[in-house]
């Protein structure tokens, strides 16, 4: 398995940050995020997310996210701060990326509300043209998707229902 580390000094790196306040406690949000093999329950783009290997959570745990559009990616936890932050390295992806790391960060703001941040850093293949494509096309598209994912997490926490590909709770 190939693993990618943090490469913040790369000149063609792109970083995307999206933070939203949700109406759920930080503990509730973290419990769902930490359930690593079940990201499909709240991620509106993920159809299934089987674990790979024998670790179900924490540093080194791996999953494959199969998307509704037919694509997939393998994610490996590279940073694990229980209750606060999880970072995954993306590999085996059908995207034009050299490497990518994504973090989910939870910060309590009150008894029943918290901020959830998704941060992604990546480098696109194709040199300067890839960097331009990342700035003009990928960055706005991914920021919108991150907002949708955080909103879907909030909906899942409030309803207890699995979120479907349209971002709405699925029928029981």
Q: What is the pLDDT of residues 19-72, one digit of tens each?
A: 999 999 999 999 999 999 999 999 999 999 999 999 999 999 999 999 999 999
Give mean pLDDT, residues 153-162: 96
pLDDT top residue among 171 and 118: 118
Give the span between the Cα atoms of 95 and 79, in whole angstroms.
Answer: 23
Give the span between the Cα atoms of 63 and 66, in whole angstroms.
Answer: 10
Give mean pLDDT, residues 104-128: 94
Give the span between the Cα atoms of 66 and 50, in whole angstroms.
Answer: 9
- Give the count of alpha carbons within 13 A of 140, CB side only: 5
pLDDT of residue 3 exceeding 50, the answer is: no
CB 23 within 8 A of CB 143: no
Q: Residue 81 has which token pair?
A: 């701060």
pTM of the complete model: 0.90
């Amino acid at each position: 398995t190939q693993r990618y580390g943090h490469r913040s000094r790369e000149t063609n790196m792109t970083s995307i940050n999206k933070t939203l306040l949700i109406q759920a406690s930080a503990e509730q949000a973290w419990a769902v995020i930490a359930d690593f093999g079940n990201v499909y329950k709240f991620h509106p783009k993920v159809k299934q997310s089987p674990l790979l290997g024998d670790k179900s959570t924490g540093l080194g745990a791996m999953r494959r996210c199969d998307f509704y559009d037919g694509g997939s990616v393998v994610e490996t936890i590279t940073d694990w701060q229980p209750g606060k932050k999880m970072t995954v390295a993306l590999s085996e992806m059908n995207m034009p990326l050299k490497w990518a790391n994504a973090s989910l960060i939870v910060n309590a703001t009150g008894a029943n509300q918290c901020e959830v941040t998704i941060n992604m850093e990546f480098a696109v293949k194709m040199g300067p043209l890839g960097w331009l494509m990342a700035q003009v096309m990928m960055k706005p598209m991914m920021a919108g998707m991150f907002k949708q994912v955080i909103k879907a997490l909030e909906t899942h926490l409030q309803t207890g229902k699995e979120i479907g590909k349209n971002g709405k709770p699925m029928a029981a």
